[in-house]
Amino acid sequence: MQRSCRPVRRNRVDAVRTLLRFAAVALLLVAAAAPAATTRLLFVGNSLTYVGNLPAVVDALAAANGTTTSSDMLVGAGATLSERVADGSVERALAAQHYDYVILQERGGNLIGAAGDASLHETNAAHEALAQLARRNGAEPILLGTYQGLPQASRALVAAESAQAKRLSMPHVAVSQRLQGGLSSVPDAEWFAADRMHPGPDLTLLDALLLYRALFGVFPRATALTVEAPVYGVHAGFADATLVRAGAARVAADAAYRYSLERVQRILTVAESR
């Protein structure tokens, strides 16, 4: 009598399936053990960027949420984006280091002509030039908004920023209208520095939360934060086109700036509002 080979074939198929399952599990374990990729960020801005050390707060927020960013900032007091085009500093920074994103923050009000028609023309040209430069160097540009205190000016600013970002096909992180909401819903937050113009620690945190969503597609979870880097003030004294490694200068543990869980939750509620 001829012996059936079906059980043998079935056993071979089962063995192959078992091996494939083991291989799949092994790949998952290797992927889990692999270090997470670092997202490199270059902030191009002015005192609205460095007061409170926004790049370092973004890095701390990412670390608290299980991801890694490494941020540099090219800043100067009162600087404009057109100055960064003219002096070639952004081009040199991009040639020296790969960045995944270039975050552009113009001087407050320039996009609504607060500094005159000539300045408005210059900022339009500078946004375009820097967006193209970022893309040529393998980075994605992001327009980080600023803010205005008066509601009508705030709406006009956000509309102008949105139009600029749409024209240049880049993400827009709108801040001003969220800040308007926060001023009403959380009036006791430290929205501004002592001069009532520059960002206070809670406005810096709001910027960081909104940027995190632009970078990773979701808001971060609420968790306490420790910023182990200098938190620069209004009189930090950065000269034009100063390239600062946001987290390079570590501070002592007792000098680190801390955001409590409750504080982060309050500002996150403002960031998530419509």
Query: Domain-by-domain residue ranges, the chain?
Result: 1-34, 37-272
In whole angstroms, how large is the CA radius of gyration of the chain?
Answer: 24
Average pLDDT, integer, range 19-27: 54
User: What share of the chain has pLDDT > 70, as a percent?
Assistant: 86
State the pLDDT confidence band at 67, using cuts at 50, 70 and 90: very high
- Tens-place pLDDT, residues 74-85: 999 999 999 999
Count other C-beta atoms under 10 Å from residue 46's C-beta.
25
Q: How far is CA 169 from CA 135, 143, 166, 209, 211, in A?
A: 11, 10, 5, 22, 17
Take residue 255 and report the two structure tokens written for it: 């000098």
DSSP calls for 195-251 = TSSSB-HHHHHHHHHHHHHHHHSSPPPP--EEE-S----TT--PPTTEEEETTTS--
pLDDT at 26: 47
Half-sphere exposure of 149 (CA within 13 A, CB side): 6
Region of poorest pLDDT, from 83-92, 107-116, 240-249: 240-249
State the pLDDT confidence band at 31, using cuts at 50, 70 and 90: very low
In whole angstroms, what is the distance from residue 33 CA to residue 15 CA?
27
Q: What is the pTM of this model?
A: 0.86
- Tens-place pLDDT, residues 192-248: 999 999 999 999 999 999 999 999 999 999 999 999 999 999 988 888 788 988 877
Count other C-beta atoms under 10 Å from residue 128's C-beta.
15
Closest to 129 measured CA to CA, from 95, 86, 171, 158: 86
Phi, psi of 44 (to 5 degrees): -120, 115
Q: Does domain 37-272 have CATH number 1.20.140.10?
A: no
